[in-house]
Structure 1
Amino acid sequence: MYNNYANKNTIKVNNDNDNNINGDDDDDDNDDDLECYMRSLGRFLVSYRDVSGGVRKRIKDGERRNDDDDDIYGDYDDDDDGGGGKRKNSVGKKNSTKKVEKPPAKLFPPTTRSTTSTLKKSQKPPHLPLSPPTTTPPLMFPTWTCFRTRDIFREFLKTEQHYNRSLKCVVSNFRQPVLLSLESNRAFTSWQNAKLLFDDVNNIYHISCCFLKELEAQNSHTQSTNYLLGECFTRVSNDIQQVYSSYLLSYPSILNVYDKVVRQSVLFRLFLRKVEFTASSMMSSLPDLYMKPWKRVHEYINLLTAYRNLLSADHVDARNVLIGLKFMKALKKSIMETQKRLESDGKMDALQDTIVQSPLLKEPGRRYVAELHCICYLVVDTNSCVPEFKVPMAKDDLSFFLFNDCMVCCQRVATHVPFKSNITNKYIFVQTCSLQYLRVSNLMDTAYMRNAFKMWTPKNQWLCSVDDNLTKHQWVSTLERTVKKILKKH
């Protein structure tokens, strides 16, 4: 059918060419289109003939050839008059004079031939197997750990740059104007206060600049998979430890001087209103910028810990990272101790003003631990003849304030505010108990008293009840732990 279609199209094209020769001259563009059409038609016929004829293509020694003897379906012979081709049966007919070289067994395994000249419609021609894939050695790429160490190093560098800019704000926007005012006749404060306010931050800024240069040099000269963060850190570790320790010791004094200067100096207050919360000060106040150094210590520990977890034990930089982590954790410990001490001092100052007729609470070495608000019950007297005394009865609302060396017992008195639902508590001092002789024990829940425990000394005892079981266990465990520490010291 396709051969007839090709012959008809060929005849039509020949007739068109004859018409053009007889007198219908077309442009060169029409001739080019005709040639393209003939070429595409010829390619289509050849491709269809190859498929229908079942010619298998083989590749050997880089040359392409057709093997007519291995044809399963047979070939077609084109007639001279352009009619349909006649099918020849090639099965069983071999050319004895022509010797065909067989392909290698690995590339082309032997195929079984059919004894008949034609195949059934349900059968399909056998497909040639694909050549085995060539195995190439795997390329050596950086591992996941290398990329993670690179990311942590760049995060360290980026955060250090931001931290350095915040310190520069304190030095350039606050310290320099204050020093210039001291040289003129319009001083904001004294030289001593200015030195206490800005000297420690200025030292930290210079150390941060040196550390930032080390990180930038390491980032520019090292390879993309080999960063030595610990080596950069240990070069300035001694200076960092010395400067930060000095700053943490003077940090409470810095804030006290700042508050005093703000209260006393009008010029300093006007100066702060112009500079604070602007773009040059990174939209922060001076006390907020004072918090940057001790917050940076926590960031150092987090980044160094993440970097250490990715390094192997035999890595070149593993020892330096461990050294840096060791002294930074020691610095963090001192920060936490200072923070607890300051919170304890502030709490004792507040209690000193709140408790009526209170003795002096703030003493050297004393630290606030916890407090408890509970209901105190009368001690049960089983030998009493009065029935009411055989049952626990609520007596007072008490509050206990626990310190590291004593416990203060106060009576809690509630005062209601008119036209409001607020309640104001007032604490009246009752007595002070030494922790050396204080004991505590748990009590079972009864119908009259729940979440109860007992505290006693050689002279006094208290049956206390709280609202929930969690508060009870927290207070009892804290009290027992504090008493054990006192007994170990003595």
Structure 2
Amino acid sequence: MGRSSMPKPKCQPRLSQTLRERAGSHEALEKQLVLTSLETLPKQSNISGSHSYPLLSKKNWHGVYKNDDSSSCALRPHFILISSRIPAYEMVVESVKAGVVSVVYEHSVTLESLLYLIEKALDGQKAQSMGIFSDGDSREINLLQGYKIGVKNLLKPEVRDFWEKLGSYVATEKEGGHVDFFAPLGASEAGTEVLSQLSQLTGTFFTAPTGIATGSYQHIFSDWLGAQWGKAPSSIYFSESKLQTWSSFTDFLEDTLKGVRKQLCPLFKELQKSISGRMIGQFMFDTMGMSNFLNNQEIAQALADGLMELSKEDSDKPLEFLSYFLLKKCGKKIKDFEGNVIPTKCDPKTAFGLLMKERNGVEDNSWDTKSRLSKNDLNFEALINLERMLQKDSAEKRTRVVRELLQSERKYVQMLEIVRDVYVTPLKAALSSNRAILSAANIQILFSDILQILSLNRQFLDNLRDRLQEWGPAHCVGEIVTKFGSQLNTYTNFFNNYPVILKTIEKCREMIPAFRTFLKRHDKTIATKMLSLPELLLYPSRRFEEYLNLLYAVRLHTPAEHVDRGDLTTAIDQIKKYKDYIDQMKQNINMKDHLSDIQRIVWGCPTLSEVNRYLIRVQDVAQLHCCDEEISFSLRLYEHIRDLSLFLFNDALLISSRGTSHTPFERTSKTTYQFIASVALHRLLIENIPDSKYVKNAFILQGPKYKWICATEAEDDKFLWLSVLQNAIKSRMEK
């Protein structure tokens, strides 16, 4: 509906139109036409003009800050980059300290766009330090879409160029400057090599956490490689109590924020992402009522201990028992099973720290350990004692990581046993007593694969325990992990059946009232650690990232001549290959779901499902109409004829109209989309329209048949959009 035609101008023929007439339909000439259109676009800060300014040469980068000498160090700001790919990133934004300059960036932007955002935020200043809070692991940083920064690609021209320019925005190492990655690069050989190369490349000190915290972001609070500032880098940029809250509940917060974003983001559409993110983050912190939560933690801890003691006793007077327990505890110090000392009178900050430790599995208490794991099959008290023995040798870093491997494996097995004890055992018991809740066939579909995984990992845990009983510097763990890695077909069966398992749960819940009641009784209880059955089934897919981080850390602290090096490398290769397989499965499912969502909301949209197709970015623009193309560019008048939304995929651009509808008595509005056209990227031409008195932030998109004159709301949006679009077209042309 209402497609824009492409009339030939009566004068001043456009470059693209002239070339197209010469090119005809010849593929090679059409490709040259597209590339030529990209080359004519302006660069960086001159996006509003008709000609690009030359980029600074490398020898002049530091000259930009020639007036920013070391005497002004005290005035230099601290700067933090936060990726929107971080789970619940809004709460990270809200945790940023006053006075720290922060920028939230989309994962889909380009390296050039990211430099533009940094330069604009610093406004000619140098930063005393720069934090980069993005997705990543102990080997590489998932900085941007298509740019996982690691040893293999660090010296690629565009990547090297990016880091050299970024280094020019930060004080040198001599001036006390540093760049802080919040991914645990200090916990692997590959990661430390990345840090070393970046430091040499830029003359600025790069650092990252050295700790491994399985299943959480607690590595942020571990030691940082080479940090010499008297405090952890995390405390430079963030309120630590807020960051602790975020790191302890990331998964739950991200799930909650998906709904919050849908409700609040339309209201904040006109605001910068960093501002809207801070507002949403503040809303979440206020809703959680963390201040009350902290102040009541001492009482909650005492009551929890008392209730657990009561559950172990066969008391016919529970209230009297609980009262006596609390009186006895009053004014004394108690020790949990791990030997941690918890003051009965402590400030909220201390109590909160203890809560966060417990939440993230840093230490276990006695009731948690005993109630979750079968004493008959595994001697878990012996495991706890073994972990305590290894903890005494924590000065030896290799031992510390091995202890974490043992402890995290015990906790993983614990989560798998919850499925068996809380769900499988009662369902089989009901089946045997002729009061079946589920049929034998459905029980087999739902639980046979996860029980096989439990059996495999219990054996792996046994092998680890036996090896670590007499642990010393010369001992090895690589061969045990290699043996485990050769049996991963058990996991493959589970992942192949994973979609069927989830659909069977949904179908049985819907069609069998007894099963619906059963799930309602058991899901999200203390026995399941407040998780549902589908949430418990997530654990196998997450465990392999933890294995990989731990194995890299073990190898980092294993001498080159150690006999374990070879087996560790083999084990890492096995686990990495399997993790890549899981990641590919996740990516395929996520891309399929994302494409289905877009197809559903865009009315009249053709089928989007294509192999390897994925969404890069969505940009809202105004479509303009030129009233008279006979006059010169600077005098042309444009009228706004409708709103468009541009959906950029890695192989095509989908153009849709965007409408808004309101409901009586409601403040919020609904957005509707109508399909207009789609253009393959290798056939799309882009042309800049210079700013004039009558038009701002405009450009032309031109396909084989139609063209669209578009304008963004802000100059930044135009630059970021054209940069991403250029990059997508170039990537497509190279294939």
**TM-score range for the pair, normalised by the shorter chain length:** 0.5 to 0.7
Q: 2:555 aligns with which of 292, 308, 321?
A: 308
CA shift, 1:470, in A, is: 4.8
Question: Partner of 1:193 in structure 2?
Answer: 442
1:378 aligns with 2:625: yes
- C-alpha distance in structure 1 between counterparts of 2:442 and 2:714, whole Å: 50
Q: 2:711 aligns with which of 465, 473, 481?
A: 465
1:172 aligns with 2:383: no
1:379/1:462 contact within 8 Å kept:
no
CA shift, 1:179, in A, is: 3.4
CA shift, 1:429, in A, is: 1.6
1:209 aligns with 2:458: yes
1:286 aligns with 2:537: no
- C-alpha distance in structure 1 between counterparts of 2:496 and 2:614, whole Å: 18
2:474/2:562 contact within 8 Å kept:
no
Q: Secondary structure at the match of 1:393?
A: strand
- Which fold has the larger relative contact order, with Cα–Cα distance below 8 Å and residues 6 or more apart in sequence? 2
1:239 aligns with 2:457: no
Q: Secondary structure at the match of 1:287?
A: helix
Q: 2:522 aligns with which of 275, 284, 288?
A: 275
Counterpart AA for 1:357: G
- C-alpha distance in structure 2 between counterparts of 1:334 and 1:264, whole Å: 34
1:341/1:367 contact within 8 Å kept:
no
Question: Partner of 1:226 in structure 2?
Answer: 474
Q: 1:391 aligns with which of 625, 637, 642?
A: 637
Q: Secondary structure at the match of 1:372?
A: strand
Equivalent positions of 1:398-417 (< 5 A) are: 398-417=644-663
Q: Secondary structure at the match of 2:677?
A: strand
Pair 357,207 (structure 1): closer, same or farther in 2 beyond 3 Å: same
- C-alpha distance in structure 1 between counterparts of 2:715 and 2:467, whole Å: 57
Counterpart AA for 1:431: A
- C-alpha distance in structure 1 between counterparts of 2:445 and 2:686, whole Å: 48
1:378/1:394 contact within 8 Å kept:
yes
- C-alpha distance in structure 2 between counterparts of 1:352 and 1:468, whole Å: 28
2:697/2:714 contact within 8 Å kept:
yes
Question: Partner of 2:146 in structure 1?
Answer: none
Question: Partner of 1:338 in structure 2?
Answer: 585
2:634/2:693 contact within 8 Å kept:
no
Equivalent residue pairs, number: 343
- C-alpha distance in structure 2 between counterparts of 1:331 and 1:420, whole Å: 50
Counterpart AA for 2:673: Y
Counterpart AA for 1:230: G
Question: Partner of 1:151 in structure 2?
Answer: 400
Q: TM-score, normalised by structure 2?
A: 0.43
1:422 aligns with 2:668: yes
1:295 aligns with 2:542: yes
1:163 aligns with 2:163: no
Question: Partner of 1:321 in structure 2?
Answer: 568
- C-alpha distance in structure 1 between counterparts of 2:637 and 2:653, whole Å: 28
Stretch moving more, 281-290 or 329-338: 329-338
Counterpart AA for 1:369: I
CA shift, 1:184, in A, is: 5.2
Counterpart AA for 1:315: H
- C-alpha distance in structure 2 between counterparts of 1:214 and 1:156, whole Å: 12
1:249 aligns with 2:507: no
1:259-303 Cα distance to aligned partner (Å, 9 max, x none): 222112111111112222333323321111111112211211221
1:212-235 Cα distance to aligned partner (Å, 9 max, x none): 011101111333x33422222112
1:412/1:425 contact within 8 Å kept:
yes
- C-alpha distance in structure 1 between counterparts of 2:566 and 2:698, whole Å: 53
When Rg is computed on C-alpha atoms for both structures, the one with the higher figure is 1
- C-alpha distance in structure 1 between counterparts of 2:563 and 2:546, whole Å: 23
Pair 209,473 (structure 1): closer, same or farther in 2 beyond 3 Å: farther
CA shift, 1:166, in A, is: 0.7
Pair 388,442 (structure 1): closer, same or farther in 2 beyond 3 Å: closer
- C-alpha distance in structure 2 between counterparts of 1:415 and 1:479, whole Å: 29
Equivalent positions of 1:111-130 (< 5 A) are: none
CA shift, 1:372, in A, is: 1.8
Stretch moving more, 316-325 or 163-172: 316-325
1:378/1:395 contact within 8 Å kept:
yes
Give ranges in structure 2 of 5+ residues lacking alignment. Answer: 1-392
2:623/2:710 contact within 8 Å kept:
yes
The CA RMSD over aligned residues, in Å, is: 2.8
1:129-186 Cα distance to aligned partner (Å, 9 max, x none): xxxxxxxxxxxxxxx9971111111111111101101101112221233334445544
1:406/1:433 contact within 8 Å kept:
yes
2:686/2:700 contact within 8 Å kept:
yes
Pair 393,364 (structure 1): closer, same or farther in 2 beyond 3 Å: same
Give ranges in structure 1 of 5+ residues lacking alignment. Answer: 1-143
1:435 aligns with 2:684: no
Q: Secondary structure at the match of 2:558?
A: coil
CA shift, 1:488, in A, is: 4.3
- C-alpha distance in structure 1 between counterparts of 2:718 and 2:560, whole Å: 47
